[in-house]
Amino acid sequence: MESLIHARGLVKRFGEFTAVDGIDVDVRRGEAFGFLGPNGAGKSSTMRMIGCVSPPSGGELRILGLDPRRDGPRIRSRLGVCPQLDNLDIELNVRENLTTYARFFGIPRKVARRRADELLDFVQLSERADSKVEPLSGGMKRRLTIARALVNEPEMVLLDEPTTGLDPQARHLVWERLFRLKQQGVTLVLTTHYMDEAEQLCDRLVVMDGGRIVAEGSPRALIEQYSTREVVELRFAAESQEAYAEKLAGLGDRLEVLPDRILLYVDDGDEAAAEVQGRSLAPASVLVRRSSLEDVFLHLTGRTLVD
Amino acid sequence: MTPGAYVLEYHLVNYRRTWRASALSTLVMPLLTMLGFGVGVGAYVSGGVDGVPYLDWIVPGLIASTAVQAAIGEATWPVLSYFEWLKVYFAQAAAPLRVADILGGHLAFMLFRILLSATAFLGVAVLFGAVHSWWAPLTLIVALLVGFAVSAPTVAYSASISSDSYLAILMRFAILPMSLFSGVFFPIESLPLVLRWVAWALPLWHGVDLSRDAMLGLAPGWLGLWHVLYLLAWCALGWWLAHSRFRRRLVI
């Protein structure tokens, strides 16, 4: 299989600070690949290196089989980039945002106009084609930014936190459009800290923490490897959950005490819940749920807040 | 077409959306300055300067000064905002453009704006009967030269700051003294030596002197050649500085 991104020991340093600390990544054509991690994990730095706007400080990197140090413009002409913050042109109308951007790729004006109309249709903004950008909602602006990333019919689209800050309806619409792109054979590379986003969209992902890759695989495989099948969330009425922790000893693979509840990582949630009742511990509430990528993520990168 | 031309095209499309707001000031400013200084102050300057009527003497300086004002206007807030607020440069950097294309395209647009302002001023001057030489159109070339000599280093400055309070500093301590002491309103010979050095060092005076030669039909001589070379040096240094600042911001 052809690798669109091939990185070995990739490093990015800013002075003394090492943002990306020797990562190996391979992304194959047609894949949807995700970089997960808390803030400051090195996701955006990695994305900028892949987007050929940030030269690597060390290691090997090849994008579309080319060397970003030498062939930056050539690689960028075949990529689509959707940045974390919308940088649309507020003076231009919706259609012009696409047509002027298309010109940077040397696309003839006529073709640019036609493609702009097709893309506005694709992101469901046709009716706003002649309106200004400013009054558009956050979701509309994001869809326009995604459309702009597609004007050059890219082989690979880089999306830095594509749905951060959007309301649920807007998020689902963006996901659905991205899924459509993937079906058309476009390779998607995205960063996110939304676990549901990663589970929805990514075939494969890496979890980054402190500039390193701490886990890699499909969402399913990661859950199997780093978590149990199910999780039981217990809330006790008492002030401290701590006191109940020892009484639960021996239940499940792993137990985690949080300020407001206790998590039991088990294979069979209902059985474990029954056992809790059997020990007559009477929690105020019991919730049995399937293990999610979020459990994996928090297990790997910790619960400490990173700002 | 080179990629830099696409960037120029982008700025022109943008300008098509906003030109009305600036068109009025492009025409009204020269009219007001011409009336205020040329006619108003000129009435008190009996006998003119260097043997020509004050209005004729001041107009070439005002054209060069207008070119510089247009250069400053385009090289300050827009550049800062394209980095800090609108992030236009970052969007361009993600496309297959090089730093030189992004910078060159924007500077080319600035030259367009400079040419527009200088031409409007020259047109108004013709209406006032202040143009007498067939060499006068050369003043537009001078306007472009001095405009670039100012805009390129100013772009470098704007690309180095993160807040517009630094622009106020630039206006107060560089632009204002340059506008006052560059022989636009009175010959620099009437300045004390220290301030004459200000005129010699900064670009505007060189443009004013060249512009005056063109408008009055005088031979620029060796001093003229020196002016051109000195302005070209400002252009080259400004480009080099701006390019390295842009690189620092866009390729990180």
For residue B164, give both structure tokens: 């517009």
What pLDDT sits at residue B199?
94
Q: Rounded distance, CA A255 to CA A257, Å? A: 7
Give dist(CA A206, CA B160) in Å, integer: 36
The first and second tokens of residue B30, run together, are 């020269």
Q: Sign of the CA dihedral A103, A107, A108, A113? A: negative
Q: What is the pLDDT of residues A176-215, one digit of tens each?
A: 999 999 999 999 999 987 888 888 899 999 999 999 999 9
pLDDT at A307 over 60: no
How would you class A221 by CB atoms within 10 Å of its CB: exposed for 0-12, middle for 13-18, buried for 19 or more?
A: middle
Tell me if chain A has a CB within 8 Å of the CB of B193.
Answer: no
Give the mean model confidence (pLDDT) for residues B114-122: 95
Residue scoring higher pLDDT (A60 or B27): A60
Model confidence at B222: pLDDT above 90: yes
The residue with greater pLDDT, A156 or A40, is A156
Reported pTM: 0.90
Which pair of tokens denotes residue A195? 């676990």
Q: How confident is the model at residue B15 (pLDDT cuts 50, 70, 90)?
A: very high
Averaged confidence pLDDT in chain A: 91
Nearest CA in chain B to A76: B96
Q: What is the CATH number of domain A228-290?
A: 3.30.70
Q: How far is B159 from chain A (nearest CA, A)?
A: 17
- Does the pLDDT value for residue A277 go beyond 80? yes
Q: What is the pLDDT of residue A79?
A: 96
**pLDDT beyond 70 at A245:** yes
**Helix B3-33 to helix B54-75 angle, to the nearest 10 degrees?**
140
Give strand pairing partners of A93: A132
Neighbour order of strands in the sheet with A32-36:
A79-82, A156-160, A187-192, A32-36, A204-209, A212-217
pLDDT at B24: 81
Mean pLDDT of A71-87: 94
Amino acid at residue number A98:
L
Predicted local distance difference test score (pLDDT) of residue B1: 64
Give the residue extent of every domain in chain B: 3-38+55-250
Query: Binning pLDDT at 50, 70 and 90, where does residue A60 land?
Result: very high
User: Quick one: B121 exposed, middle or buried, by C-beta within 10 A (0-12, 13-18, 19+)?
Assistant: buried
ipTM, 2 decimals?
0.89
Among A173, A220, A215, which Cα is nearest to A199's?
A220
Under CATH, what is the fold of the domain A3-217? Answer: Rossmann fold (3.40.50)
CB-closest option in A53, A91, A104 to B6: A104
Sign of CA dihedral B69, B117, B110, A82: positive
CB atoms A73 and B7 under 8 Å: no
- Residue spans of the domains in chain A: they are 3-217, 228-290
Residue A240 has pLDDT above 80, yes or no: no
Q: Is the pLDDT of residue A157 over 60?
A: yes
pLDDT, average across residues A121-137: 94
* pLDDT band, very low/low/confident/very high, at B20 (cuts 50, 70, 90): confident
Neighbours of B233 (CB within 10 A): 12
Q: What is the dihedral of CA A47, A51, A56, A61, to 10 degrees?
A: 100
User: Is pLDDT at B146 greater than 80 in this prediction?
Assistant: yes
User: B14 contacts in A (CB within 8 Å)?
Assistant: 89, 91-92, 100
Q: Are A95 and A129 in contact (CB under 8 A)?
A: yes
Across chain B, mean pLDDT equals 93
Q: Does B3 touch chain A (CB under 8 A)?
A: yes
**A135-138: Cβ within 8 A, 24+ apart:** A136/A94, A137/A170, A138/A165, A138/A166, A138/A167, A138/A170
Q: What is the C-alpha separation between B181 and B66, in angstroms, rounded?
A: 15
Contact between B205 and B65 (Cβ < 8 Å): no
d(CA B45, CA B43): 6
Are A74 and B90 a contacting pair at CB < 8 A?
Answer: no
- Dist CA B221 CA A169 (whole Å): 72
- Which range has the worst mean pLDDT, A263-277, B27-41, B202-216? B27-41
pLDDT digits (tens, 9 = 90+) for A102-124: 999 999 999 999 999 999 999 99
DSSP readout, A75-109? HHTTEEEE-SS----TTSBHHHHHHHHHHTTT--H
From CA A262, how far away is CA B243, in angstroms rounded? 57
CB B237 within 8 A of CB B214: no
